[in-house]
Structure 1
Amino acid sequence: MMKMKNTLLTAQSVGTIHNKLAGSYVVRSFISTMSNTDNVNLFYPFKSKMQLYQWFVGFSDAESNFIIHRILDKKGNISKFSFMFNIELHIDDLHVLEFIKNKLEIGNIRVYKDKSIFTVSDKQGVYKLMSIFDEFNLNTTKRMDYLNFKEAFILYHERDSNVKVTESKELIGKILKYKNTMNTKRNLALLTPEDLESNINITSYWLLGFIEGDGSFFISRTDIEPVFYIELSEEQYPVLLKIKEYLENNLGFDKYSLYKLKSSSVISINKQKSRLGKPTVIFSIKNIFILNNYFIPFIENMVFISKKGKDFLYFKIICNAVYKGSHKLEYIRSLIIKLSYTMNNFRLSTNTKPVELLSEQEKDNIILAEATFEYLNDGRILDKKTNKPLASFRSCIYEVTLPSGEIVLVDTLKEALGMVNVSFRTLKKLLDEGQSVKLRSYEVKRVPIFLPLDKFKI
């Protein structure tokens, strides 16, 4: 049996993990925490108006529409215009629209079949929306729709009282010009990359709202691989790039993890060609270390308003199981697959496919499942069954100190070998016996990445 000389990491107690995971949705989801607190804090579950508005703008970037309607008289001539802000959701998220209506104190809600629709069309309501969107930018190309909508609205409602719509071809022409360059009629080819990127400002609560609208927590059932992704039309590439930059700069990565982020595609943005619809661009995180140790802790510090909070909870439970290697146990694997069939569209009231809900005991079985992985303090991962490191599953890079004192970071042991000129077997053996190796005038160190810094002494 191979003797491991690297110190094994101390894991959290099972009880702590269980309480943290099982209680997350109860503590962190707005759906489950409606209480008298709502009467004390006007912005609950947010702490301030700023957080509320940032969340709302992010959600609007994902789900809203700005619409200008022409209203015709009996002769078919334009007699007036109406201006409408609209959010349409599945009926299961009716409570989200009620939340928005109550917090902003504007708009109306109607239900049609399996849809719930929030609309703001009155003059004062639109003015309030404009005050929000002027202070907190929409980040997607929807901002262009808003700017057209705003200009047309002001032109119409703040015109001279003596100007009648039916008698002003100039007024009608200007408003129609704004209307005809919005939404699907918008010509983004006329905009430069600088135009699209200059006003993008990502914040944590904007991102939460945007994720509630367009984010997806997905589980690949073939290999039990959790994936977080956002798929948008290709013109939204700049905002996905800014989201990537924001996460890289705000999730607390150490310098070694940042090196790996910059030199790889562990957080990726890929363009997707479409044969039928428009081409899309996909932002995705598949790396289980980033998901479990950085992304999920970042998101769970905020509160979901929609039922996507339940998807997030189950995603978190599954990520933790995969991180521990519990998904390698056949019984746990089957429970994870079963749990995945209660997420996303499967949880909707309109879903017609059979859904078998997990009992609380089965969820606890996933949370409390035995770990089959043990993390070493140099970034390698030990298979507890064989007591050997996993060859294709590790979380480390290599730091090489040259004779000149210069420090070089490389992704693989093979790259380090090219610098120190020793055999692969020799260097690997020495590193396995100790985290740092000195060879002649070189020093090679195996460094862990994407793991919480408080677990390591590098």
Structure 2
Amino acid sequence: MIKWTMINIYLLLMFLIIKNNNNNNNYNNITKYNKDMDLYSIQSPYIKNMNIIKRGYHTSLNNKLIIVQKDNKNNNKNNLEMDNFYKWLVGFTDGDGSFYIKLNDKKYLRFFYGFRMHIDDKACLEKIRNMLNMPSNFEETTKTIMLVNSQKKWLYSNIVTIFDKYPCLTIKYYSYYKWKMAMINNLNGMSYNNKDLLNIKNTINNYEVMPNLKIPYDKMNDYWILGFIEAEGSFDTSPKRNICGFNVSQHKRSINTLKAIKSYVLNNWKPIDNTPLLIKNKLLKDWDSSIKLTKPDKNGVIKLEFNRMDFLYYVILPKLYSLKWYSRKEIDFQLWKTTMEIYMKGLHNTTKGSNLLKLINNNINKKRYYSNYNIPKNIIDDVLNMNTIYNYKLPYRMNSDIQRLNSMNNNNTKFINVGVFVYDLNNTLIMTFTGYRPAATYFNCSKHEIAKYIKNGNVFMNKYILKNILLD
């Protein structure tokens, strides 16, 4: 009884002294993120001269789909790297990990923590095992691989320490709590009858919400989100609509987790400094509606959807690119990033760009499980180095509308500037329209009046200058 009291006091003290450590790095200063990492400059007219962290390892886009580990002169991982990994691990566990209990032949409880994944994810599990110094072996089949540990003392000294500091943020939070408390009781020699043992085993993962505990959503952080994305996220392409998408899915019982992710992203992730002014202003104007939560499907699954191209390109993509990934989901992200570049530059309107998009679409996400992945890097480079068609100063949807109007009025594919561009008296572009009619509707006048002011160059409504071309 004395030991049990001391353990509880110890846990209570640990809980009280752990600080809230979201570690949301200065997003506009990400080049100073880690001195051991290389800098990489995205060669794009959309993100000019933006220095982004190139992670400590990369995926080579070749036939063998090899993940290459970068040599690190300092084998002693620094505290920041380990803390970020622990946060990532908790997010990844919230999506794909398990805490569970089994009864052995002598009716003793055995405690397990680990993962069962597709065999293609072996490199990820190897990374987890190495980072944790986990004394476990892999169990493999032709399609799956499992990494688990059942050594109570190791679990208590390592996994409990990590998950108490960086807690789960789905309803797995309750599973972990019940699993941990049962382990503490077991380590302290608490005895159970057979009925109690079965009850403990069966209630660990019953999705029961414990009214005396609240999931600490205020502990949300960038690396937890990344880990959760690598487990539950999906990078989508939509060739019919010429857009990219990104979503994170969960059962409706974890709807509050998705709401917490949405709130965290909108409050902490911002457009990069290089975002063109017109696009940035539109992003900020529509900021709160940039992420949408779907209704549950027939299986009770809901999605957190990110579908606005400019928001994805200037907010989500650079943030995710600045973080260190650990699973093969990074390859999907890189392919998705390439797709995004093609669309944002308007290169999907070319034969080479269109063909590359088809190739990517046949190799991304689940299509990559058993397919012979074959996208040579030189094909990607050849397309991305083509002359840009779209105007990088304009929102993606406006570029698309202009291109469509141009196609309707002209059989060739040469890009010309059409539409209405509204400037203030200092020649600063403040809004754009795809044609005279939408401009007239906005200003509550006739399209002929819009055309007149464009032609004569006079000041419109005492404060605007209207143009049908985009000024440099």
Q: Which residue of 1 aligns with 2:346?
A: 325
Offset, 1:363: 1.4
Instruction: For 1:321-360, list aligned pairs within 5 A.
Output: 321-348=342-369, 351=370, 355=372, 357-360=374-377
Following TM superposition, by how much is the alpha carbon of 1:32 offset from its aligned partner in structure 2, in angstroms?
Answer: 4.5
Which of the residues 89, 105, 112 maps onto 2:133?
Answer: 105
Letter in 2 for 1:186: Y
After superposition, give the CA deviation of every residue in 1:19-65 in whole Å (9 maximum; x if it has no partner): 999x968865597552431752325xx94321111111111111111
* Distance verdict in 2 for CA 1:438–1:345, change over 3 Å: same
SS in structure 2 at match of 1:242: helix
| Cα drift, residue 295 of structure 1 | 1.0
| Whole-angstrom distance in 1 between the partners of 2:335 and 2:451 | 39
2:145 is the counterpart of 1:116: yes
Q: CA–CA distance in 2 between the matches of 1:433 and 1:38?
A: 66
Q: Structure 2 vs 1, CA of residues 397 and 390 (structure 1 numbering), >3 Å: closer, same or farther?
A: closer
The answer to whether the 8 Å contact 1:420/1:439 transfers is no
Report the more deviating stretch, 110-119 or 355-364: 355-364
Deviation at 1:248, TM superposition (A): 1.5
Query: What is the aligned partner in structure 2 of residue 158 from structure 1?
Result: 188
- For residue 36 of structure 1, the aligned residue among 62, 71, 91 is 71
Q: What's the offset of the Cα at 1:84?
A: 0.6
Counterpart of 2:324 in structure 1 is 303
Q: Is the 8 A contact 1:107 1:119 kept in 2?
A: no
2:257 aligns to what?
239
2:261 aligns to what SS in structure 1? helix
Aligned mate of 1:148, from 156, 178, 182: 178
Partner of 2:9: none
The change in CA–CA distance for 1:397 and 1:315 in structure 2 (over 3 A counts) is farther
When the two structures are aligned, how many residues end up with a matched partner?
Answer: 392
Using a 3 Å threshold, how does the CA distance of structure 1 residues 444 and 120 change in structure 2: closer, same or farther?
farther
Q: CA deviation at 1:215?
A: 1.1
**Code of the aligned partner of 1:36:** D
Matches within 5 A, 1:408-427: 421-423=444-446, 426=449
Kindly provide the amino acid, as one letter, of the partner of residue 302 in structure 2. Answer: V
Structure 1: how far apart are the matches of 2:92 and 2:150? 19
Please, which moves more after superposition, 131-140 or 90-99? 90-99
Q: Determine the C-alpha separation between the residues in 1 that align with 2:286 and 2:235.
A: 24
* Deviation of 1:437 (Å): 7.1
Indicate the residue corresponding to 1:62 in structure 2: 95
The TM-score normalised by the length of structure 1 is 0.73
Cα distance in 2 for residues equivalent to 1:92 and 1:432? 62
- 1:369 to 1:281, Cα distance in 2 relative to 1, 3 A: same
Residue 88 (structure 1) aligns with: 116
Per the alignment, residue 3 of structure 1 pairs with none
User: What is the CA–CA distance in structure 1 between the aligned matches of 2:446 and 2:137, rounded to whole Å?
Assistant: 70
On the 8 A contact 2:217/2:260 being kept in 1, the answer is no
What is the match of residue 269 of structure 1? 293
Structure 2 residue 391 is the aligned partner of structure 1 residue 374? yes
Q: Which one of the candidate residues 372, 375, 388 is aligned to 2:417? A: 388
- 2:160 matched residue in structure 1: 130
Cα displacement string for residues 184-210 of structure 1 (whole angstroms, at most 9, x for unaligned residues): x2234x759xx6654452211111111
Residue identity opposite 1:366 in structure 2: V
**Relative contact order: is structure 1 or structure 2 higher (C-alpha 8 Å, sep ≥ 6)?**
1
Q: Distance in 2 between matches of 1:71 and 1:224?
A: 55
1:300 is displaced (CA, Å) by 0.8
* Kept in 2: contact 1:218–1:315 (CA 8 A): yes
Query: How far 1:426 sits from its partner (Å)?
Result: 3.9
Give the letter for the 1:181 counterpart. T
Partner of 1:5: none
3-state SS, counterpart of residue 120 of structure 2: helix
* SS at 1:239 equivalent: helix
CA distance in 1, matches of 2:454, 2:203: 62
The answer on whether the counterparts of 1:61 and 1:210 sit within 8 Å (CA) in structure 2 is yes
- Which residue pairs with 1:452 in the alignment? none
Q: Which residue matches 2:245?
A: 227
User: Could you tell me how far apart the structure 2 residues matched to 1:378 and 1:333 are?
Assistant: 21
Amino acid across the alignment from 2:225: L
Counterpart residue identity of residue 42, structure 1: K
Counterpart of 2:284 in structure 1 is 258
Q: Is the 8 A contact 2:54 2:322 kept in 1?
A: no
What residue in structure 2 maps to residue 208 of structure 1? 226
Instruction: Note if contact 1:270-1:281 (Cα within 8 Å) is conserved in structure 2.
Output: yes
Alignment TM-score, normalising by the size of structure 2: 0.71
Determine the C-alpha separation between the residues in 2 that align with 1:38 and 1:91.
30
Contact 2:313 2:340 in 1 (8 A): yes
Kindly provide the amino acid, as one letter, of the partner of residue 375 in structure 2: L
CA distance in 1, matches of 2:163, 2:284: 33
SS in 2 for 1:297: helix
One-letter amino acid of the structure 1 residue matched with residue 339 of structure 2: I
Task: Supply the RMSD in Å over aligned alpha carbons.
Answer: 4.2
**Which digits, 9 at most, give the CA deviation of each residue in 1:232-286, with x for residues without a partner?**
1111211111111222122224665233022x3x321102321xxx311111212
**Which whole-Å CA distance do the structure 1 matches of 2:173 and 2:295 have between them?**
22
Residues 429/115 of structure 1: CA separation in 2 closer, same or farther (3 Å cut): farther
Alignment of 1:169-188 (within 5 A): 169=193, 176-183=198-205, 185-188=206-209
1:175 deviates by 5.1
**Structure 1 residue 432, shift from structure 2 partner:** 11
| Rounded Cα–Cα distance in structure 1 between residues aligned with 2:96 and 2:308 | 28
Residue identity matched to 1:119: V
CA gap of 1:61–1:223, structure 2 versus 1, over 3 A, is: same
